[in-house]
Amino acid sequence: MGWLGLAGWLGPSVVLILVVVVYPLIETVRSSFQSFSLTGAVKGSAGWDNYRTIIENPAFPRVIVNTVVWVVLGVVLTTLVSLPLAQLMSKEFWGNRFLRIALIVPWATSVVMSAIGFRWILNYYYGVLNPLLMRLHVIAAPVDWLGSDRTIRWVMIGVVAFVSLPFTCFALLSGLRTISDDVLEAAAIDGAGRWQSYRHIVLPLLRGPLTVTVLLNSIWIFNSFPIVYVLNKSNPGYLSDTSTTFMYKVAFLTERDVGAGAAMSVLNVIVIGVGVALYVRRSRME
Amino acid sequence: MMRTLKMSLPVAATAAVLALTACGGSPSASTEDRGSPTKSIKVVAAEYSSSTSPYWQQVAKDFTAKTGVKVELQVIGWNDIHQQVSTMVQTNQLPDVLNLDSFSQYAADDLLWPAPDIETQALRDNLPENLRTSGSYKGKEFGIPLVGSDSALFYNPAIFKQAGLTNPPASLDELQSDALAVSKLPGKVGFALSLSPEAPHIDFSTFMFNMGGSYMADGKWAINSQQNVKALEFLKGLTEKKATEVNPGKTGRVEGSWQLFEAGTAAMTIGQGGLADRLEKSGTPYKVAPFPAAPGVTPTSLGVADYIMAFKKPGNQDAVKQFLDLAFSDKNYTKFIETEGLLPVTSGAQAALAQKPKFGPYIEALKSAKFAPVGEENWDKVLGAMKNSLGLAVQGQDPQKVLDDIQAVATSS
């Protein structure tokens, strides 16, 4: 074994990481300091100009606020819905299996497909949501969910939470499974009510899986390009863009500035890097 | 005759020198540059449909039979072709002949033969002027149009009847009042307008051209000209009066305005042959009419073309010329256009297909169509800026400011 064995075990993944992660990362960082022609040919060094261009873009502050709101509310909503759902799933009852399957489906569907599905559900003229809500007298007139600047943000947060639910629920469910019934029984004998035992026994014991899901969801939602892009693609301007779609639009769609797009991308990587570092630290502590 | 004789003398001399160096067995750079006639050419073309490949194969077959030069043919789908051609350019594996929707980036890098150098006189005479000059970069032709398309006013006679209307609008005022009349019907939309980032320039250009506006004036960008601002204000007015669908600034084309028309919701929209095909399938009643123009303006529409270009490679000029001549020959070209359902760019094919109902009105419109300055250096950035902001003009932003900002992008270096 020795060196050869080590290389055999680690080699493939190291090569994969080098090719799929490290090389593109280096190229992106390099691109962020170069200026490009429209065909993508390098015109020369740009110094920090690309970073200046992207930060001085009038839409930049708005995009940053959008991103923060999107990640924070997306994670909070996902967690708040997942906790009771996981609790429900941990109990044995008729239809439990059905619930689990129903929850797996959005996970198995590609995110782009889910987002396109929501595009049609929410369509002003032909979507199914407007007639349904009108019949239920929730709204009096159809709402342009994806076209109105007031509603699209909440719609996007709702969709990303919907897509993040399966992973979060199953992660919390496995956490719940590790809590032994004896502990809960002991609490009941000591006179703890249901809420008390949840608040003081279950939640603290769930801290590990909760932290992990919050961290992973933050990274995932921050990075979640397809939902924002698909739901927001008919809207001109950058009013509802997050940092990942902003990066894409600047590079390839609107300003056609690959250098500035690469600079934005590097900023994104730094943010994700912080998230990943937190996650790694957290896993080490366990 | 004298001229040709004079010309041929230096040519003969060069040939002699070439022969000498060749004998010396030292292939120098200069022999490479002049180039002996090439033995094979690489042709890269975009795939419009399953009948694209047979067309190019036929042209290649005719070409090889005539000249003995082989053809390496690659027909690539639209999703991949831009990226693949970029790779070919970056790795210096240039095609000889390329068919794509843009050419100016390669002209800017001085990679292309000027169009007159690779067109036979017959081909040149066969191309109508508005199409031929649409392939210009900095006033010089580099792209030869291969196929065209243009837009016309589509209207739904059944909805028109419901609203008490009979004829398509003959003026822009009528277009507005007709649209308003239809919008009063429950669940109907007068004019489906598309200004979302998908392709807002098509509808905007159509109104702009027909209100006397243009992208450039005297060779300079004029996007915020008075006429253009008026055109955008007109669209804003249509929207605010609710003559359009709920949010044209956020309505796309293929999934948006066309969808509304196809579903029988909208009474009018700006469409192309692609929409006609969809309507034939869905059975939606429709008629096509020329777009109305403002008083004193010749009715026109926005023409769009895809181009053929040839990369400068030593010794390929003559072969390319012959190849293009065969590609545009009436025999091959007319059949190609007919099966693709795109519009012909040669006078010959236009005349041959003008009587067919599927082509007639569009060919007529193409003859008077105007083109966006797709060859201008900043066009891609202008297009990007239009995609990102034209829609804002119908949802609160001042049209003048929107166009001022696009003009600033156009004139930036």
- Per-residue H/E/C for chain A: CHHHHHHHHHHHHHHHHHHHHHHHHHHHHHHCCEEECCCCCEEEECCCHHHHHHHHCCCHHHHHHHHHHHHHHHHHHHHHHHHHHHHHHHCCCCCHHHHHHHHHHHHHCCHHHHHHHHHHHCCCCCCCHHHHHHHCCCCCCCCCCCCCHHHHHHHHHHHHHHHHHHHHHHHHHHHHHHCCHHHHHHHHHCCCCHHHHHHHHHHHHCHHHHHHHHHHHHHHHHCCHHHHHHHHCCCCCCCCCCHHHHHHHHHHHCCCCHHHHHHHHHHHHHHHHHHHHHHHHHHHHC
Check if the beta carbon of residue B307 is closer than 8 Å to that of residue B287.
Answer: no
Chain A residues touching B196 at Cβ < 8 A: 233-236
Q: Give the β-pairing of B302-310 and B370-371.
A: parallel
Select the more confidently predicted residue: B354 or B233.
B233
Contacts 24+ apart (CB under 8 A), B86-92: B86/A39, B86/A40, B88/B44, B89/A39, B90/A40, B90/A41
Residue B13: pLDDT band (50, 70, 90) is very low
Locate B141 and state its tokens.
Answer: 């032709």
Select the more confidently predicted residue: B136 or A282.
B136
Q: What is the DSSP string of B180-244?
A: HHHHTSTT-EEEE---STTSHHHHHHHHHHHTT--SEETTEE-TT-HHHHHHHHHHHHHHHTT-B
Helices (H) and strands (E) in chain B, counts: 20, 15
pLDDT at B401: 96
Residue B340: pLDDT band (50, 70, 90) is confident
- How much is the average pLDDT of A223-248? 92
Which of B250, B255, B401, B403 has the most A C-beta neighbours within 10 Å, making it the best mutation to test the interface with A? Answer: B250
Q: Which residues of A sit within 8 Å Cβ distance of B? A: 37-41, 124-126, 144, 146-148, 233-238, 249, 253-256
Which of A146, A238, A254 has the most B C-beta neighbours within 10 Å, making it the best mutation to test the interface with B? Answer: A254
Give CA angle at A275 (A17, A66), nearest 5°: 115
Query: Among A45-59, B78-92, B180-194, B311-325, whose mean pLDDT is lowest?
Result: B78-92
Distance from C-alpha of A218 to C-alpha of A206, rounded to nearest angstrom: 18
Query: Would you say the CATH fold of B152-300+378-411 matches that of B38-148+304-371?
Result: yes
Q: Does B412 reach chain A within 8 Å, measured CB to CB?
A: no
Locate B388 and state its tokens.
Answer: 């990102």
Give CA angle at A196 (A190, A201), nearest 5°: 80
Distance from C-alpha of A78 to C-alpha of A213, rounded to nearest angstrom: 10
Contacts A–B by Cβ distance under 8 A: 84
Looking at residue B328, its amino acid is F
Residue B276: pLDDT band (50, 70, 90) is confident
Of B118, B116, B85, B130, the C-alpha closest to B326 is: B118
Nearest-by-Cβ selection for B389 from A146, A234, A236: A236
Nearest-by-Cβ selection for B250 from A234, A254, A255: A234
The H-or-E segment that residue B140 falls in is strand B140-141
Ramachandran category for residue A221: left, alpha or beta (phi over 0 → left; psi -120 to 50 → alpha): alpha
Distance from C-alpha of B260 to C-alpha of B266, rounded to nearest angstrom: 5
B219 to chain A nearest CA, in Å? 21
Locate B67 and state its tokens.
Answer: 């000249």
CATH, domain A66-120+149-180+206-285, list 3.40.50.261, 1.10.3720.10, 1.20.1260.10, 3.40.50.970: 1.10.3720.10
pLDDT digits (tens, 9 = 90+) for A92-151: 888 888 888 888 887 888 889 999 999 999 999 889 999 999 999 988 888 999 988 889
Chain B residues touching A255 at Cβ < 8 A: 381, 384-385, 388
pLDDT at A1: 59
Total count of residues recorded for chain B: 413
Of B154, B110, B392, the C-alpha closest to B285 is: B154
Q: For residue B79, is pLDDT > 90?
A: no
Check if the beta carbon of residue B196 is closer than 8 Å to that of residue B391.
Answer: yes
Looking at residue B228, its amino acid is N
Residue ranges per domain, chain A?
Answer: 66-120+149-180+206-285
Residue ranges per domain, chain B?
Answer: 38-148+304-371, 152-300+378-411
pLDDT at A286: 62
Q: For residue B42, is pLDDT > 70?
A: yes
Q: What is the mean pLDDT of chain B?
A: 85
Q: Does B402 reach chain A within 8 Å, measured CB to CB?
A: no
- How much is the average pLDDT of A2-17? 86
Query: Among A123-132, A160-169, B329-338, whose mean pLDDT is lowest?
Result: B329-338
- % of chain B beyond a pLDDT of 90: 40
Q: Does B392 reach chain A within 8 Å, measured CB to CB?
A: yes
CB atoms within 10 A of CB B218: 5
CATH fold group of domain B38-148+304-371: D-Maltodextrin-Binding Protein; domain 2 (3.40.190)
pLDDT digits (tens, 9 = 90+) for A72-109: 999 999 999 999 999 888 888 888 888 888 888 878 88
Going A235 to A240 to A244 to A249, the CA torsion angle's sign is: positive
Q: Could you tell me the CA-to-CA distances from A208 to A172, A284, A285, B286 in Å, in that order?
A: 9, 12, 10, 63
Distance from C-alpha of B27 to C-alpha of B25, rounded to nearest angstrom: 6
Q: For residue B309, is pLDDT > 90?
A: yes
Buried b (16+ CB within 10 A) or exposed e, B356-383: eeebebbbebbbebbbbbbbbbbbbbbb
Locate B375 and state its tokens.
Answer: 């060859």
Please answer yes or no on whether A255 and B381 come within 8 Å at the CB atom.
yes
Total count of residues recorded for chain A: 286
Check if the beta carbon of residue A42 is closer than 8 Å to that of residue A34.
Answer: yes
Distance from C-alpha of B88 to C-alpha of B84, rounded to nearest angstrom: 6
Q: Give the β-pairing of A34-36 and A42-45.
A: antiparallel
Task: Say if residue B8 is exposed, middle or buried (CB neighbours under 10 Å; 0-12, 13-18, 19+).
Answer: exposed
Architecture of the B152-300+378-411 domain: 3-Layer(aba) Sandwich (3.40)
Alpha helices by DSSP H, listed for B25-151, are: 29-34, 52-67, 78-90, 104-108, 115-118, 121-126, 129-132
Q: What residues contact residue B43 under an 8 Å CB cut-off, 6+ apart?
A: B56, B60, B71, B72, B73, B74, B95, B96, B97, B98, B323
Distance from C-alpha of B150 to C-alpha of B133, rounded to nearest angstrom: 16
pLDDT at A39: 67
Question: To 10 degrees, the CA torsion angle through A275, A276, A280, A282?
Answer: 20
For helices A149-178 and A60-90, the axis angle rounded to 10 degrees is 40
